[in-house]
Amino acid sequence: MIVILDSSITEQSEEYQRTLDHLSQLPGITARIHKVQGDQQDLTEIYLIGDTKTLSADDIQALPGVERVIRVSEEYRILGRHRDQQRVSGFEYNGVLFSQDTLHVFAGLCAVDTPEHVEIMLKALHERGQVCTRMGAYKPRTNPYSFQGHGKNCLPYVFDLAGKYGIKVIAMEVTHESHVDEIHESLKQAGQPTGVMVQIGTRNTQNFELLKAVGRQQEYPVLFKRGFGITLNESLNAAEYLASEGNSRVVFCLRGVKTNMGDPHRNLVDFSHVPVVKRLTRMPVCVDPSHSVGSRERAPDSIPDLMHATAQGVATGANMVLVDFHPAPAKALVDGPQALLMSELDWFLEDIALARECYEKRLALVERQRSRQKL
Ligand code: PEP
Ligand code: MN
């Protein structure tokens, strides 16, 4: 059970103390306080853990300073929405707001190769007012002899260049908890010129020890990719590991699922799950068209499949787009065939803006439908 306090209640107030004292004394129940950072306001939520079935939600609702009481289903306790449409979603990180209402594009290199390519990419983003990017330093590869990423060696120039071009958040995959420490150390050395959203890749979706370690740190938010071969429910439970350890600043990323049924795409595009993840959880939802589609192939209408897939995600309310670009895809060390060209960046951003406009119009339409039904 979750007890949400009125946003005007402070820890010093008498109501807070009285309610907390009451809840702490409930037999067989542990009360755990959670501070929730929302995009509008910060809230205090008290989690009641134990056998809460016998508790009366009405009695608790009547305690001083209580705004609402939510009975949670067992799954994804912290990240779940539990059918409560008003639950706060999202967080702010390094001046950028992430919620189920916002939209950010993270265009960048799948894998960092040279400082020149990083600079071309970041400069282009800066010139287009973008403040987020993706930069892979640690690459999980199918083949042990393939390029594994430059690791910590590339972090100094990646972070310096990000600072130079006003990039605020870099999505960067980690495959081991020590990578978070390396990122932390490198950002400190560089004087904190930018921020990092730590990415958990699809191969590590159920690497529970990695999830626990990344969940224990609360400095960096997490971009969590769904598992390529497990159910959505299993992926959402895995994301909850992060929150259960203390880090609930998590963005959930759809990246397609592995099955031959998706051929000729690299994965079967699963962006129809955007509204599902928003309904089941409070996480902002990202789509990764690059790893879903896996090529620059175009449809007869001349639009790349990858841009069609992106539009499908954005028109249904995606909050983030993670996408591979490369200044010279033929020279890319990882995933060149799916990287969009720098000359396609303006087109891609404009196409996303159109899809977003479509989503906003669809929201206005549902409002009109609601008022029609009320009449
Ligand atoms: C990536 O984003 O670079 C990546 C490896 O993605 P995924 O984990 O979805 O395969
Ligand atoms: Mn890749």
Q: Structure tokens of 213?
A: 């370690």
State residue 320's pLDDT score: 98
Mean pLDDT, the chain, whole residue set: 95
Report which DSSP code applies to 103.
Answer: -
Tell me if 287 sits within 8 A of 254, measured CB to CB. yes
Q: Is the pLDDT of residue 302 over 90?
A: yes
Q: Is the pLDDT of residue 37 over 80?
A: no
Index of the ligand 1 atom closest to the CA of residue 335: 3
Q: Structure tokens of 155?
A: 């972090």
Residue 375 maps to a domain: no
Same domain, 195 and 341: yes
Give pLDDT tens digits for 279-299. Answer: 999 999 999 999 999 999 999
Residue 82 maps to a domain: no
Q: Ligand 1 centre and the CA of 133: distance in Å?
A: 14
What residues form DSSP beta bridges with 225? 253
Same domain, 96 and 32: no
Q: Where are the alpha helices (DSSP H) in the chain?
A: 14-24, 57-61, 115-127, 155-164, 177-190, 208-216, 232-244, 274-280, 289-293, 305-315, 345-374
Residue 79 maps to a domain: no
Q: Ligand 1 centre and the CA of 141: distance in Å?
A: 10
The top-scoring range by mean pLDDT among 13-27, 43-57, 210-224 is: 210-224
Quote the CA–CA distance of 298 and 257 in Å, as a whole number. Answer: 21
Q: What percent of the chain has pLDDT over 70?
A: 99
291 touches ligand 1 (CB under 6 Å): yes
Q: Burial code of 309-344, b = ≥16 C-beta within 10 A, e = fewer?
A: bbbbbbbbbbbbbbbbbbbebeebbbbbebbbebeb
Give pLDDT tens digits for 323-347. Answer: 999 999 999 999 999 999 999 999 9
Cα torsion angle, 350, 355, 357, 358, sign: positive
Q: Give the end of a domain, one of 44, 73, 102.
A: 73
- Report which bound ligand comes closest to the CA of 322: 1
Same domain, 97 and 50: no
Task: Report the domain count for the chain.
Answer: 2
Same domain, 28 and 150: no
pLDDT band at 7 (very low <50, low <70, confident <90, very high): confident
- Report which bound ligand comes closest to the CA of 254: 1
Please state the φ and ψ torsions of residue 314, each to the nearest 5 degrees.
-70, -40
Quote the CA–CA distance of 92 and 78 in Å, as a whole number. Answer: 18
Same domain, 252 and 310: yes
Q: Is the pLDDT of residue 39 over 80?
A: no
Q: Is the pLDDT of residue 38 over 70?
A: no
Q: Which residues contact 270 (CB under 8 A, 6 or more apart)?
A: 226, 254, 255, 256, 257, 292
What residues form DSSP beta bridges with 104? 320
Q: Ligand 1 centre and the CA of 18: distance in Å?
A: 48
User: Is beta strand 91-93 parallel, antiparallel or unpaired with respect to 96-98?
Assistant: antiparallel
Nearest by Cα to 79 from 215, 272, 257: 215
Side chain identity, residue 200: I
- The position carrying tokens 């192939």 is 297
pLDDT band at 53 (very low <50, low <70, confident <90, very high): confident
Q: At what angle do helices 155-164 and 115-127 cross, to 10 degrees?
A: 20
Q: Ligand 1 centre and the CA of 70: distance in Å?
A: 35
Same domain, 66 and 109: no
State residue 374's pLDDT score: 82
Give pLDDT tens digits for 257-273. Answer: 999 999 999 999 999 99
Same domain, 211 and 101: yes
Q: How open is the CA angle 232-238-240, to the nearest 5 degrees? A: 110
Q: Give the end of a domain, one of 41, 73, 105.
A: 73
Residue 141 maps to a domain: yes
CA 189 to chain centre: 26
Quote the CA–CA distance of 70 and 297 in Å, as a whole number. Answer: 47
Q: Determine the structural domain holding residue 281 and report its residue range.
A: 92-366
Same domain, 188 and 266: yes
State residue 225's pLDDT score: 98
Supply the residue whose CA is at minimum distance from atom 6 of ligand 1: 201
Give pLDDT tens digits for 157-168. Answer: 999 999 999 999
Q: Where in 38-135 does DSSP place strands (E)?
A: 42-50, 66-70, 91-93, 96-98, 104-109, 132-135
255 touches ligand 1 (CB under 6 Å): yes
State residue 11's pLDDT score: 87
Same domain, 133 and 241: yes
State residue 34's pLDDT score: 84
Residue 55 maps to a domain: yes
